[in-house]
Amino acid sequence: MRILVIDDEKQIRRALQSVLNVRHYDVQLAADGQEGLELATSLTPDLIILDLSLPDMSGMEVCRMLREWYHGPILVLSVLSGDEDKINALDYGADDYLTKPFSTGELLARIRALLRRMQGTDTSSPEMDVDDLHIDFGKREVTVRGELVRLTRTEFDILAVLARNVDRVVTSRMLLEAVWGPEYVSDSQTLRVHVSHLRKKIEMPGDIPRHIVTEPAVGFRLVSHNEAT
Amino acid sequence: MSGRGDDIGTNLRDAARAGSGYPLAVVVVLGAAVALLPLRPFLEAPTLMLAFVPVIIVLARFFGIGVSALASVLAFFAIDFLYLQPYYRLAVGSFPEWLGLLAFLAVALVSGQQTALLRERERTAERRRAELALLNALTERIASAGSATEIAEFVVARAQSVLGATRAAVYVPGEGSEFPLRLANSGSTSLSAGEIAAAAWVIKHGLALSPGGSDGASGATPSPATEAVGAYIPLATADGVEGVLHIVVPDFEAQADRISPLLGAMANLVAASFQRQRLEESAARAEALREADRLKTTLVSSVSHELKTPLAAANARITGLLEEPTIEPERLHAELADVSRDLSRLNTSIAALLDLSRLESDAWRPRFELHELDEVLGTVVANLPSDQASRVKFALTDEVAYISCDFAQLARALANVVDNALYYSPPSSPVWVSSRLVGDRLRLTIEDGGPGVSDAEKERIFEKFYRGVASSQQPGGTGLGLAIAYEVVRTHGGSIGVEDAQPTGARFVISLPVAESTEEMS
C-alpha cells in the first residue's frame, strides 16, 4: 500500500513516515501542494494524506485538482479552527478528515477504514449490513435488529447516502444535494429534523444515537462498530 | 391616529384637485341659472340671488377662495344677463336692481372668502394635530426601544400615509463600505444606483438634497442631483450623519413650507435614536472587550505552569534515557508510556486553552441551532476511545426536546464533564448519564463512582486551574475542563452544579432551557 503525505511541517512528515513505515505502508512525502500534485501523478498512491494549510496553495485547491483525475481516498488534516476549510475540502471530494493533534490510533483507524472501503466496496451492492441495520436498496427496506422499520422516502434516501459512505463523514451540503437537489444545499435545519426522525426509528430508545453520529459543523457519519482491526 | 393621518392625506389630494373646482363652478352656476330659466316668470331676482349664496359657500368650503370668487362673478353675470330686464343684455333696467346686484356680488365674494378662510384654518389645525400625533407616535416608538430597522420601517410607512409620499426609504452608512445600507423601503421598488449614490452623497456631506437642488447642495461640492428624485434629508446629530431619509412627495416644492419642518423634526428624532443605539452598542462592545482582557490576564498568569509541568517531566525522562548507555526494553517501554502520558496531558492543556481563549474572546460567537441533547451526547461518545466509550451508560428521556445550542461548544463542554467523571472514578467502573424533562428545562446528570467532591471543593471546582484534591494523587487533568463546561453552559442559559452521589461519587447536574418540541418543528 502506497501512501502519499502532503504536509509542509517536517516534523509531522517524519513522524507520519516512521509511524506508517512500521505498519508496512510505503510512504512518500511532499512538502507543498505543487510537489504533492506532481508526486500524486507519478506515483498514483493508494491513499493521500493532505494537510489543508500549505505554503504555496490552499489545501482545498489541491483537493479539487486531485479530484479531477484521482479516485483513491483523500484524508485531510486540519486544525481545530479550520472548520470552513475542512467542510470545503470534503465538499471538493476529500473522503475524511482528522483534526490535529490526533493520535496514531485514530490515524491508523481512518486509514484502514478508507482503504477497506476502496477495496471492498461495491457501491452498487443491492443490500448492506451495518451492525444491526440491514438495508435493501432495491426494495427500499430497512430492518433494525431483524424488525422492519417504516421510513419515509426522505429518511430512506438520507440513510442510503450515509450507508453508501459508511464510516465516512458526509457533509450536510452533500446530503442535501443528494436527497433534495442542488438548490436546497443551505437548508440544514430541514435536514436536521429529518435526521432526528430517522434516528428515532433506528436507534435504541433511551440511548444516544450510535449509528448516525453528528460531526459538529460538518455533517453526519454512519458508524459501523464491528471494525476489523 | 391613523384616521387623522388619513385626513391630512385627503386634504393634500383636495389641494391637488382644486384645479378641477373651476370647471365645476362654471357648470354648477351656469347650469343652475339655465335650468331655472323656465321659472323666470315666477322668480324674483333677489330670491335667485339668495339661492346662489349657499351654493357659493359650499364651493368655497370644498374648493377654496379662487373657485368661490369665480362662481360669484359668474352668478353675478348670469343673473344680470338672464334674470334682469332687459334680458340677454348686460344693461340693467333700474338703479335699485343695480344696487341689489352689486350687493349680491359683494355678499357672495365676502361669504365665499370667509368660508374659504375658515376651511383653511380648520385644515391647518387638523394638519397640525396629525403632524403632532405623528411626531408623538414616533417618539413613543423610539422610546419603546424599537430596533433601528423597526423605527425606519415606521417612518417609511407614515411618510406614505401622512405625507402622501409616493416613495420613502431610510439608509444608514454601510459598515466598512462607502455604499449605504437600506434599512427600510416603501413598496417593492428595487435598488436604483442613482438613489444609492444620492444617499451616499448625503451621508458623506451631511447636506440635504431636495427636488429643486437648491438646499445646501450648491457650491463647491458637486452633487449627484441629476439622478436624484425627491428629497434626501440627512439624519444628522452633532456627532455626524446617522443616516438618510429619502422621500418623494408629489408637488414637493409647493408644499415645502409645510412639509419641511415636519420632515426636519422627524429626521432629528430618528437621528437621535439611531445615535443612541449606536452608542449603546459600542459601549456593550467595550464592556465585552474589558471582560475578555481581564480573563486573558488571569489566563496568561496561570498558563505557564500548566504547559511547563508536563513538558519538563517529559524532557527529564527522555534526557535521562539518552544518558543511559543501555536500557532494558521493559523499562524503555514504561518510560515511553510515561512520556506519552505527559505529552497527551500537554496536548489536552493546549486544546483546552485554545478553547477557553476562543470562548472568552469576542471573536467566537456561538452559532445557535436546534439540536437534541442525545445527538450531542452521541458525538461526545463517538470521540472517546472505545474502551472509555463502553464505560458510559445512558438512561435518557423519551420525550423530544430541542435545545438551542452551538453544537461543537456544547459537545466540548459535555465531553469535559464526562471525561472528568471517567478520570476520577475507578477504571472500568461505569459512568451513568441520564436526562429528564423538568418543566421547560432539560436536566442532565453525569454520575460516577469515584471519591466524590467535598463540600469545600464544590464551590471551587468550576474555577479555572482548580484541580481537586483527588487529582493531586493522579497526573493528568488540566484544571480547565470544568471551567470550560461552566462557561459554555452559562452561554447557553443553563446552569451546572455538583452534588454527592450515593453511596459514593459525584453527580454533575446540568440544566439547559428547552427551545422547542417536535410538534412545533415538523
* Chain segment A191-200, per-residue pLDDT in tens: 988 999 999 9
CB A158 within 8 A of CB A175: yes
A80 vs B311: which has the higher pLDDT:
B311
Q: How confident is the model at residue A212 (pLDDT cuts 50, 70, 90)?
A: very high
For residue B224, pLDDT beyond 80: no
Q: How confident is the model at residue B3 (pLDDT cuts 50, 70, 90)?
A: very low
For B519, nearest residue in chain A (alpha carbons): A193
Span A121-134, pLDDT tens digits: 556 678 888 888 99
Q: Using CB atoms, pick whichever of A196, A221, A223 lies closest to residue B372.
A: A196
- Look at A214 and B379 and tell me if their CB atoms are within 8 Å: yes
Mean pLDDT of A197-205: 91
Rounded Cα distance between B302 and B351, Å, is 15
Q: How confident is the model at residue A117 (pLDDT cuts 50, 70, 90)?
A: confident
pLDDT at B219 (0 to 100): 41
Span B175-221, pLDDT tens digits: 766 777 777 777 655 667 778 888 888 888 888 887 654 444 444 44
State whether residue B522 sits within 8 Å of chain A by CB. yes
State whether residue B474 sits within 8 Å of chain A by CB. no
pLDDT at B220 (0 to 100): 40
Q: How confident is the model at residue B227 (pLDDT cuts 50, 70, 90)?
A: very low
Q: Among A209-213, B18-22, B344-348, which stretch is predicted with the lowest mean pLDDT?
A: B18-22
The CA distance from A29 to the nearest CA of chain B, in Å, is 25
- Look at B375 and A223 and tell me if their CB atoms are within 8 Å: no
pLDDT at B218 (0 to 100): 42
Mean pLDDT of B379-391: 87
Residues whose CB is less than 8 angstroms from the CB of residue A180 and which lie 6 or more positions away in sequence, other chains included: A187, A190
The CA distance from B364 to the nearest CA of chain A, in Å, is 10
A148 vs B233: which has the higher pLDDT:
A148
Residue from B379, B399, B412 whose CB has the most chain A CBs within 10 Å, to mutate: B379
Pairing of strands B441-447, B431-438: antiparallel
Which among B390, B385, B400 has a CA at the least distance from the CA of B435? Answer: B400
Span B336-352, pLDDT tens digits: 888 888 887 787 778 77
Q: How confident is the model at residue B305 (pLDDT cuts 50, 70, 90)?
A: low
- Look at B375 and A196 and tell me if their CB atoms are within 8 Å: yes
Span B64-104, pLDDT tens digits: 888 888 888 888 888 888 888 788 887 777 888 888 888 88
pLDDT at B6 (0 to 100): 44
CB A52 within 8 A of CB A76: yes
pLDDT at B509 (0 to 100): 95
Q: Which residues of A touch B395 (CB under 8 A)?
A: 206
Q: Which residues of A touch B407 (CB under 8 A)?
A: 214, 216-217
Span B249-279, pLDDT tens digits: 877 777 777 777 788 888 888 888 888 888 8
Q: Using CB atoms, pick whichever of A83, A103, A208 lies closest to residue B377.
A: A208
pTM of structure? 0.54
Q: Using CB atoms, pick whichever of A189, A192, A206 lies closest to residue B394.
A: A206
For residue A100, pLDDT beyond 60: yes
pLDDT at B477 (0 to 100): 54
Q: Using CB atoms, pick whichever of A83, A192, A209 lies closest to residue B374.
A: A209
The interface predicted TM-score of the complex, written ipTM, equals: 0.78
B189 vs A48: which has the higher pLDDT:
A48
